[in-house]
Structure 1
Amino acid sequence: MAPVRKPSSVSQSISSSPFYFALYIILVLLGNLGNTTVIAVVGESLLRETGAVRSSDVILVNMAISNLLVSLVRNTVVMVSDLGVEVFLSRDMCHLMMGIWVWLRSANVWSTFFLSAFHFQTLRRVAPPVITLHGPRGPPSSLIVGFALVWSLNLIYAIPAFIFSKNGDENSTETLMLVSSTTRPLMGCIWDFPSPYSGLAFATSSMVIHESIPICLMNITNLGSLLTLYAHGHSRNTANKSQDAPVVTRIPAERRAAKVILTLNILFISSWGTNVISVNYFNYNRGSSTEFLLIVARFANMSFIAFSPIVLAVGHRKLRAFIKAVLLRMISLFA
């Protein structure tokens, strides 16, 4: 490890403001605690189930795990850095950490899309699911293959991030090299592509593959789910229903799930959009609001991870029951 150096200007601004600093710590801890709760509660119910495993719960656990890993490896490190414990890594460690940051963040985006895609596929199903009482216990093989592709393909994509990085110096400036990865050097690690063109190509492909495409697909699948539910609600009021219409047996529950997924998508897009606008203002304008907008970008980067467990708790029965039990227990202790 290289010697400790002074923190960046944005870190100093957050640390010097009690409000910003307290809010930042609250968001980081909320993301860590919330996603850990989702993993523990939903994961425990999956392990206890004796019949077929609910695929939606498996997807929720996968998304919460990706959220937690990003929060621990990125947001928590930034929080510790803002506390004044600024550690600068060696070149080899920067190779490792930059690759891990890109890998986890990219997988996190596609894991979030996975939820809306699965719900849309469930609503579009034209036959009831086949459940065998004596079949193998566990999630469907297609779901396992999907998870394997998300994590393995994003790991392959992150290989340039493992290679083209280095430890920078005190004068390393804040820049947007990868939209979903970083807005400033963390632990002294910065990008080191052979040429500006190769760096721009990797950044552009990252924005298209891990930002634009999944966000467009989120919107399409969620809109498709809402239209399917609307059409099915209308078909129930008519005498002649098409035999190849989608089978939706639990309309109220599916509508609630669609609203939760829509809220998650809006939260994700708002977080992403705020971060991109703020950082690009810094990169290309450098006006009087530069420092404030970088602080906004820092908070926007973590808002989805911090608030998504709360949104999930609204629509998930077991999570609601667990949180209610914890709150009642705390009230009884302090009463």
Structure 2
Amino acid sequence: MASSPLYIAVYLFLVLLGNVGNTTVIAVVGESLLRETGAVRSSDLILVNMAFSNLMVSLARNSLLVISDMGMEVFLNRNWCRFMMGVWVWLRSANVWSTFFLSAFHFQTLRRVAPPITNVHGHPGPPKPLIFGLCLIWSLNLIYSIPAFVFSRNGDKNSTETLMLVSSTTRPLLGCIWDFPSVYSGLAFATSSMLIHECLPICLMSVTNLGSLLTLYAHGQTRRAANKSPDAPVITRIPAERRAAKVILALNILFILSWGGSVISVNYFNYNRRSSRSSTEFLLIVARITNITFIALSPVVLAVGHRKLRAFLKSVLSRVI
């Protein structure tokens, strides 16, 4: 399909915005983590992990699509297709779970009754359970992506390619296609990918974010009733935690809209492209735009709610203006 100049300009802008924005989040928040000598803020470490996963997806996937859309033919050979398909599945699935991890951590923080345990006599650093959780996300998703390293190749369309387009995580690109031994094995991998790496974390992040909002509401009612909170350290930080909950809610909504728009557009194209080719091809552009929306706009949302990012942007704007 021929790409219009307007679409290329919009998509290029979103990709650049995502690359620059997530790099800024990693640099600003990561620099503060390295500079602080005391206990490491766990929330900042999770933000850096989410921004890193966004950046990796954008560099390994969306940047190549921009090059392809601008007219340069990018077709990979068999070995490179196997490698890149595995990397795409790994990064995309890890990105989904990294986004959920932010909601889960905030919900667990609000549910904590006692103050967080800090390592007074040991070396300062992030809590071991947090490091274990982040390592678990990347390692388990790498194991799950092993079929992508094996059952993929370059070439023409096969019987499982259209099926794989159903899932945004396993969507093939740049001439690479799936090459499972049978349609049933391809169906099993696509279905499990949709359920485990897309539907499940989206449902969990919605539930945990709703739980955070309800917990904050209950804390607010308790504070107004007692007008003090000596036994609950989290209650004293209601304004800050409420802002954090709003930012996480905005990220979750943005992620769901981005994922849903991409999946619905591609599926509608698959099942209706025979009826009206001109109208259904436009859905591929919609899928591309919606698929990059979260990666491009999530740094903007974080900049609104994160104090250090806001201060950095104000400093940059003051120098430019």
- Fold match, TM over 0.5? yes
How much has 1:175 moved relative to structure 2? 3.0
Tell me which amino acid in the other structure corresponds to 2:169.
Answer: S
How much has 1:18 moved relative to structure 2? 2.1
Q: What does the per-residue CA deviation read over 1:177-214, in whole Å, with 9 as the maximum and x for residues that have no partner?
A: 0512354x523211101111110110000000001100
Matches within 5 A, 1:42-81: 42-81=29-68
CA contact under 8 A between 2:81 and 2:154: conserved in structure 1? Answer: yes
How much has 1:254 moved relative to structure 2? 0.3
Matches within 5 A, 1:128-147: 128-147=115-134
Q: What does the per-residue CA deviation read over 1:19-60, in whole Å, with 9 as the maximum and x for residues that have no partner?
A: 111101000000000000000000000000011000000000
Matches within 5 A, 1:90-105: 90-105=77-92
User: How many Å separate the matches in 2 of 1:23 and 1:317?
Assistant: 29
Identity of aligned residues (%): 77
CA contact under 8 A between 1:24 and 1:299: conserved in structure 2? Answer: yes
- Aligned partner of 2:294 in structure 1 is 304
The counterpart of 2:141, out of the listed 147, 150, 154, is: 154
User: How many Å separate the matches in 1 of 2:230 and 2:310?
Assistant: 37
CA contact under 8 A between 1:125 and 1:246: conserved in structure 2? Answer: no
Q: TM-score, length-normalised on structure 1?
A: 0.90
How much has 1:136 moved relative to structure 2? 1.7
The counterpart of 1:253, out of the listed 240, 244, 252, is: 240
Q: What does the per-residue CA deviation read over 1:83-128, in whole Å, with 9 as the maximum and x for residues that have no partner?
A: 1221221111111110000000000000000000000000000101
Tell me which amino acid in the other structure corresponds to 2:258.
Answer: S
User: How many Å separate the matches in 2 of 1:197 and 1:176?
Assistant: 11
CA contact under 8 A between 2:220 and 2:235: conserved in structure 1? Answer: no
Give unmatched runs, 5+ long, in structure 1: 1-8
Q: Provide the aligned length of Structure 1 versus Structure 2.
A: 317
The counterpart of 2:272, out of the listed 281, 285, 301, is: 285
- Aligned partner of 2:307 in structure 1 is 317
User: How many Å separate the matches in 1 of 2:148 and 2:134?
Assistant: 22
Q: Secondary structure of 1:166's match?
A: strand
The counterpart of 2:96, out of the listed 100, 106, 109, is: 109
Alpha carbon RMSD of aligned pairs, Å? 2.0
Q: Secondary structure of 1:94's match?
A: helix
Q: TM-score, length-normalised on structure 2?
A: 0.94
Q: Secondary structure of 2:235's match?
A: coil
CA contact under 8 A between 1:124 and 1:246: conserved in structure 2? Answer: no
Q: What does the per-residue CA deviation read over 1:294-331, in whole Å, with 9 as the maximum and x for residues that have no partner?
A: 11001111100000000000000000011111111111
Change beyond 3 A, Cα 1:214–1:244: farther
Give unmatched runs, 5+ long, in structure 2: none
